[in-house]
Each structure stands twice: as structure tokens, then as C-alpha cells.
A and B are shown apart, each in its own frame.
Chain A
């Protein structure tokens, strides 16, 4: 990880409330899909804490990186008003990254809302390795769905809660519907599931893929303090084989995560946390 001040190249709306922020990456480090950075939004007391954002892309040749964020509060409102040429205050890359699928498992990428960012990055990365994933993108309504070139390169299935675009329902039910109707999934050796989105979506997906015994990798979100592993603030509850007590532990999203194997998460406590 490094702490540095890159320059904004582009900060544009890609769908209603969603922005893509592209910036220079003068650091020697190479961000991987699933990893994140923190931004100090403004040199003022409020918003105070740095905000975490997952990488949505990294261009090795141009040394540029990007994030996709949702404008939903004071911090992201300030961010959305920043212009090309202005400096960002970045610490990154942070956290672990998505692993490659085992054997010949076909990757299934499930994105909900702002969770699309890391899924787009992962899809691009798979394509570079000649792996062809399936991408499920869910949103509340059509206005929140961006129109990206990526959808021409990757088999993408869109779903909306209100049915205004693509499948009517959640991205998880869209995935289940796909399996039932579009493909005899016995043909592929198996699926490996990667997801980032609201916790109810990820819990539903985890429950489904556990039944199928598919490896599942979930990108968890939690309010962060330091984001470098020091403060123990951004934890999720996970199953452990060893004490401390009763076979559970709190794992730091910023350090042990943000990517966790689905079967290790204890949803009763993690559910509903954002």
C-alpha cells in the first residue's frame, strides 16, 4: 500500500446516481480485482474518515485506475463535484483479491448496485486470461444500469427489481432462472461464484450456491476506521476452527477481506450491515 495524490482524469456519470472516477496511478503497486482504496474526501472535519472504494479497473499500460461510486451522501456528493486535473488523496491498494476459479469452473459474477465496480474489473481480468465469465447485474430500476462496452465482450444478464430492464427480479433469481432455462449446466464442470452487492443479495446467493457446492467469493462492506488493519472496526463475523470462543471470530474486512469465502460467513450478525 502507498499513500499518494494522483490526478483525476475523468469523473463522469455512468447511470443515475452512479459515477466512474478515473485517475492516474503513479504508485508502483498493481491493484487487483477485489482490492480497494481509501479516499480522503476533503481537507476538513466533515466528512472526517477516509472512505473505502473498490477498484473498478486498472490499466497497466497507461497506469490509470478507476472506481465506480454511488452518490448517496455528503462525502460522495463532494466527490462527484471534483473535476479532472484535481488531486485525490489515496491510500491503496488495500485488502485481498478474488482468487482464480479452480479447475475449469466457469466464473459467475453477480453484481448488485454499486457492487458492479469490482465485478467489471474482475470480468475484464478474466477476459485477459481468456476466461469467459457470466455477468449478472441487478439494480432497482433501469436508470441505475450503465451502458458499457464491457457488456459486448462478456455475456451479461441484467435484472431490475421493477422489471424496467432485463429480467424482472433480483440478480440472484435471474441467475437461477438462467440455469433453469438457458443452459444445461451439467455441461460445464461447475461454477465458481463471485459477488459484490447488498448483504441480502449476497446472503441469498451464498445460500443458493452452498446448496450447489459451488465455491463462492463475496466482497463484504463495512464502515471503516483506519482501513489498514489497526483499529478492528470494520469486522465481519466468521466461523473459525479454533478459539477464541465458540468457533467464531471477527475478521477485518480491510485486511482478511474484503473477499471472504461464502461458507465462512455467519450471516445472523452480518446481515443488514452496510
Chain B
């Protein structure tokens, strides 16, 4: 393309929040940021989605919690975290100083848990916004159960909406018949955006021991193998709702991220790739920028109209 002075504006707006670029790090893969501060400059991140925070501390699931799978990995961490009070005391002071948007990932078992956690964090740990995990496959109740029923989703989002003016991003599970239904319910409840997808339910079996590899039998599949599933979800959800869609699932490279943007994502999250290469976000952002420049895309929304009309 001709104009070498052309500078794409890759900022992303979700509700009242602006991210400096579309590349975030997915909840559960980046802790609370400090874990990676020696490896990458955190100010380059568009957003940091924290490890899930629940009202009370959770020890997490028994061992083993993690195993490599063909094309990815399975995990069953079980929302191990310090709880909302621990988060405020031990994680918030660091997070509030970070030069990037920090989105707190909320998880719980019941609607009341989500509301109470959000109220507590609104008062004691104001950060950029919330990603609501209605889709964790590794806890007994709530999480995914809550996130698979459109009526419950709309209800919980409405309740959270009453309690915060900050961006509410609802994280959707691929483990449903129709993900667009849940996306529409989130929008109807007043969500500012949806993020999709969370991990897919999967299992692996140890044939020598003749038992499941993970302690919880099934876990959540992430990694490059789920890229097509995430892309299809984003593509369909984008066409079902008017609110922005944050795309994630299997992004290992700039090309993968660009596919999400073309499918309709306004921002993306990098998850498992952080484990493989902590500098993945930097490479991905650079590739998105060059692609935008090469195709004279002025903003992220220009990506959405680029693909052959479908």
C-alpha cells in the first residue's frame, strides 16, 4: 500500500473503557500480572484479564490438574484463588498501578455470589471492568451451569448491571447448543460485551492406569486445536448481537488473531500461547498492526468489513 505514513488506530472501546490495543491476556493464563513482569513489559498489553476471583477463597481441584492434549492442553484448576478479600489485600495494590486496563474475572456458584463479589470489588478494588465467568467447566455448580441457560444469564447480568457502571463482559461457553442465544441474553441483560470462547469440555484417559488423567475426569481444552471452534463462535455471535465481541480460543500467532478480527472480534485474548511463549502478545500485536497498515485499515472496525461478505 502506498502511504507509508499511514498509522492505524488500534484502540478498542468497550462501554466506558478504552484499551490501547486489541491484544489482551486471557483469564487464568496470566495470574495477576506480576508473575510475568520479569518476562514482558505489561504496558504493551491492551488488557489484562485476571485469574478468576470468587467471593470466598478456593483451594482448587485435586491433582493432577493439567495435561498436554493433541493440539492443546486440558486443565482443571477449579478456580483456585484467594477470594475477594484476599484479592483486595494481596493483588489489588499491584494491579491498580499497572499501565494497562485490568479486567477482573468474576466467578461463583450462584447469582448471589457474583453480586456480592462485584459489590465488594466495586467498593474495595475499583479497576477497569469485569469479565463475568459464566462458563467455567471445572466447578460443580454455577459457572457453566449458570452460563448455559439464557434466562439465568439475562437475570444475572441484569443484577450485575444494577451494581456497576463499569464495563461488563460476559464470557461465553462453547459447551452449549446455541452460543448466540446466550450472547443475546447477555446483551438483553445489559452487558457491554461478550467474550468467547471459554474452554471446551474434554478428557484424556491413561491406558496404563486405566483411569482418567485429570482428577476431575473432565477438564477444559484450550490451545491451537480449538481455534476453529472459537472463530465460528465469534463469527456467529457477532452477527447475533450489537455489542462488541472479544475473541479467544487457540490464538498462537498474529494470523490467528487477525482471523478473529476478520470474523468480527473487536479485541482478542491470548491464553495458552502465553505458556508456550510469553512474548506471544507482542508478536501478535505487531502482526495485527502490520496487517492493518498493509490493508489501509484505519481502525479495528475496518477489519469487520474486510472479509468477503457472508
Contacts and interface: CB of A to CB of B under 8 A. Distances in A.
Interface of A: 1-3, 40, 45-50, 89, 91, 222-237, 243-245, 248-250, 269-270, 273
A48 B68 contact: yes
B131 to A, nearest CB: 16
Nearest to B272: A48
B1 interface: no
B208 to A, nearest CB: 12
A224 B28 CA distance: 14
B78 to A, nearest CB: 9
B77 A232 contact: yes
A222 B275 contact: no
Contacts of B73: 48-49, 225
Given A40-B277, A46-B70, A243-B57, A232 B29 contact: no
B63 A269 contact: yes
18 contacts: A2-B38, A45-B71, A45-B224, A47-B68, A48-B72, A48-B73, A222-B63, A225-B66, A226-B31, A226-B275, A228-B39, A230-B31, A231-B31, A231-B275, A235-B80, A244-B57, A250-B60, A269-B63
Contacts of B223: 45, 48
A249 B72 CA distance: 28
Which one of A48, A223, A224, A234 has the greatest number of beta carbons of chain B within 10 Å?
A48
Contacts of B31: 226, 228-231
Interface string B217-228: 000000110000
B29 A230 contact: yes
B199 interface: no
B38 A231 contact: no
Contact of A231 (B28, B64, B71, B279): B28
Chain B interface size band reads 35 or more
Nearest to A224: B66
Interface string B48-63: 0001000001111011
B63 A50 contact: no
A2 B37 CA distance: 11
Closest 8 CB pairs of A and B: A230-B31, A233-B66, A230-B35, A244-B57, A229-B35, A232-B80, A226-B275, A232-B77
Contacts of B310: none
A272 to B, nearest CB: 9
